[in-house]
């Protein structure tokens, strides 16, 4: 019988912040050493942050990344450290994991499977590795892998790990969030555990990076594919787990190709331990809960990591701006969120009152800037160029752009970041105004369908056990209030129908004919598809926003603006 104490440091890094990342890493190493850990792992590319994108093409970035790695190496002791970084070797760049102990670099593993789909572009930057790295400590063997290495069924690392050749698989990961992603990771790791008959220790990154959110949730899985320990999600954590192995009668088959596997001996920590640790199992999250926490984490990190302290939101009294404000307050605190209500001649007293009630409920400062005088001045200045009948999209967009202009002017004056409030349903079909409600620095609910906006708003009130978002905001039919008695459904299908069609067309990439065959009205599908295809130019100019679905606009779905292949019903 053998036992190893594994520490998994789930940390929130910032791309390019080498000093801050290194300091955080060394503090975690000290903490794990104090608790007698034999090995501590850190997430994928944790030295430089993930994803560094085209920074990897800059030689000085790669050099600074290796300098930081060696600074960390010099501070290591008995606890072996497995840490992710970029590795420049013989003119090639690798996604690497190095093993550090007692001030020495003991080995470096290069990621074999490089993802190149969805949000991933790793083949643009990295060269594939070709050799496994197996650590040996206390008569047990631990195979070192990086993220995608365990996702490929029948792949290189599965062949290395199976047939009893290793006892545990260490996986350092930067797996971005979408709703339900943790269950996907569990399924992938369970398959790998069953195939290899080994424990899996998957350590995932946590934090926001531009559109991406990494939800953490590091876990230990036994050889039967059961999660036996799990870290917190959406927060930094240090998961320490004692794992026992029965090595009696275990044989060690040699690799078919000895050059494909490096065996690295690791010294156990040898620090006195106060008994065996009980496994830690963090709380589970439901769907609205995990989505809301992802929005909070992504918003807070984007604001803070880009050097802002406060944010500015146009509060219309509608549900989208109300949810955005609630997320911002939870991410940054009420003292750092400022609302501006900008009523026009079409703004109802009810929505104006709801904006004020919401601000009171959230305890945020609210400014009131009426736009009717500006609108009238705009029409006067344009003279006969503009139609004075005050109807049509042009007049609606003037109002939206006046509001966007006011918000950006305040932002320029104060240094506060403007948060836009458009949802995925509106952005998908272009029901938004360039340089108007799309003007801002970060789009909090950009990837949240309208039906989910309603669900999350209900969640906010239930989780706070009080009415934060006024009930009238949730129950009132959505309206842009840019013309008399306007309702969204004057222009769009009911959101329950629209979101279902958008899910099929955008996220599942189903053909219009298939969507009609699924039971949707032919003319409705035709019009929705037309709007989605024609509004790529708007989406390309939108600010970044938190990804919470499997296929978000932007990094996930990349289509040409100039495009004669518009998909429609034949």
Q: How far apart are CA 541 and CA 552, in angstroms?
A: 15
Backbone angles phi, psi at 55, to 5 degrees: -60, -25
What is the C-alpha to C-alpha distance for residues 242 and 364, in angstroms, rounded to an integer? 46
Do β-strands 261-265 and 237-245 pair in parallel, antiparallel, or remain unpaired? Answer: unpaired
First to last CA, the chain: 67
Residue 530, classified by CB atoms within 10 Å of its CB into exposed (0-12), middle (13-18) or buried (19+), is middle
d(CA 132, CA 548): 34
Q: Is 111 a catalytic residue?
A: yes
The active-site residue out of 24, 44, 113, 547 is 44
Q: How many angstroms separate the CA atoms of 439 and 404, rounded?
A: 6
Yes or no: say if 343 and 371 are a contact pair by the CB < 8 Å rule: yes
CA gap 358, 351 in Å, rounded: 10
Q: Which helix (H) or strand (E) holds 74?
A: helix 59-74
CA R_g for the chain: 26
CB-CB contact of 326 with 469 (8 Å):
yes
Q: Are 29 and 8 in contact (CB under 8 A)?
A: no
**Looking at 147, 201, 269, 432, which residue is catalytic?**
147
Q: Cα dist. 473→108, 368, 397, 467, 469 in Å?
A: 56, 19, 23, 11, 7
Is there a catalytic annotation at residue 44? Answer: yes
Largest Cα–Cα separation, the chain:
93
Ramachandran sector of residue 435 (left: φ over 0; alpha: ψ -120 to 50; beta: rest): left
- Marked catalytic residue, from 24, 106, 111, 538: 111
What beta strand segments (E) does 49-196 contain? 80-89, 92-101, 104-110, 132-137, 140-146, 168-173
Catalytic annotation present for 147: yes
Q: What is the layout of strands, in order, in the sheet containing 442-443?
A: 365-368, 337-341, 311-314, 417-420, 442-443
Burial zone of 160 (CB within 10 Å; 0-12 exposed, 13-18 middle, 19+ buried): buried
According to the 3-state scheme, what is the secondary structure of 232-255? Answer: CECCCEEEEEEEEECCCCCCCCCC
Write out the catalytic residue numbers: 44, 111, 147
């Amino acid at each position: 019988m053998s036992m190893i104490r594994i520490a998994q440091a789930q940390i929130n890094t910032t791309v390019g912040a080498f000093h801050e990342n290194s300091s955080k890493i060394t503090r975690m190493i000290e903490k794990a050493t104090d608790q007698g850990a034999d090995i501590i792992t850190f997430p994928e590319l944790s030295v430089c942050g993930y994803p560094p994108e085209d920074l990897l093409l800059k030689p000085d970035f790669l050099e600074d990344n290796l300098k930081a790695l060696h600074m960390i190496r010099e501070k290591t002791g008995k606890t072996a450290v497995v840490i992710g970084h970029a590795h420049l070797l013989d003119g090639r760049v690798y996604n690497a994991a190095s093993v550090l102990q007692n001030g020495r670099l003991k080995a470096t593993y290069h990621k074999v499977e490089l993802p190149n789909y969805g949000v991933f572009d790793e083949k643009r930057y990295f060269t594939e590795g070709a050799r496994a790295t197996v650590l040996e400590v206390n008569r047990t063997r631990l195979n070192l892998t990086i993220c995608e290495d365990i996702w490929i069924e029948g792949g290189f690392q599965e062949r290395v790990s199976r047939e009893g050749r290793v006892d545990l698989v260490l996986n350092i990961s930067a797996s971005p969030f979408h709703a339900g992603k943790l269950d996907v990771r569990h399924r992938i790791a369970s398959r790998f555990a069953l195939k290899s008959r080994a424990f899996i220790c998957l350590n995932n990154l946590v934090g926001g990076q531009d559109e991406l959110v990494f939800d953490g949730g590091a876990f230990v899985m036994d050889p039967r594919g059961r999660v036996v320990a799990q870290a917190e999600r959406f927060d930094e954590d240090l998961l320490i787990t004692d794992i026992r192995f029965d090595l009696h009668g275990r044989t060690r088959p040699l690799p078919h190709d000895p050059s494909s596997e490096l065996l690295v001996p690791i010294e156990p920590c040898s620090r006195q331990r106060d008994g065996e640790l009980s496994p830690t199992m963090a709380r589970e999250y439901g769907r609205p809960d995990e989505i809301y926490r992802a929005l909070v984490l992504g918003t807070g990190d984007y604001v803070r990591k880009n050097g802002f302290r406060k944010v500015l939101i146009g509060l219309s009294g509608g549900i989208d701006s109300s949810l955005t404000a609630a997320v911002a307050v939870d991410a940054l605190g009420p003292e750092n969120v400022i609302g501006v209500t900008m009523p026009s001649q079409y703004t109802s007293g009810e929505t104006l009152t709801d904006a004020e009630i919401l601000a009171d409920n959230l305890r945020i400062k609210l400014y009131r800037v009426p736009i009717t005088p500006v609108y009238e001045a705009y029409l006067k200045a344009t003279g006969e160029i503009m139609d004075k009948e005050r109807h049509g999209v042009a007049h609606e967009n003037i109002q939206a752009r006046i509001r966007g202009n006011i918000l950006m002017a305040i932002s320029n004056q104060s240094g506060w970041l403007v948060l836009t409030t458009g949802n995925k349903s509106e952005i998908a079909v272009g029901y938004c105004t360039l340089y108007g409600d799309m003007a801002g620095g970060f789009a909090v609910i950009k990837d949240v369908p309208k039906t989910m906006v309603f669900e999350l708003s209900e969640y906010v009130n239930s989780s706070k056990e009080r009415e934060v978002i006024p009930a009238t905001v949730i129950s009132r039919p959505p309206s842009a209030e840019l013309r008399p008695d306007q309702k969204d459904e004057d222009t769009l299908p009911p959101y329950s129908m629209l979101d279902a069609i958008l899910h099929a067309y955008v996220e599942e990439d189903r053909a219009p004919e298939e969507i009609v065959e699924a039971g949707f009205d032919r003319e409705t599908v035709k019009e929705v598809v037309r709007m989605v295809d024609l509004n790529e130019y708007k989406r390309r100019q939108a600010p970044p926003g938190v990804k919470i679905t499997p296929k978000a606009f932007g990094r996930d779905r990349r289509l040409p603006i100039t495009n004669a292949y518009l998909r429609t019903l034949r």
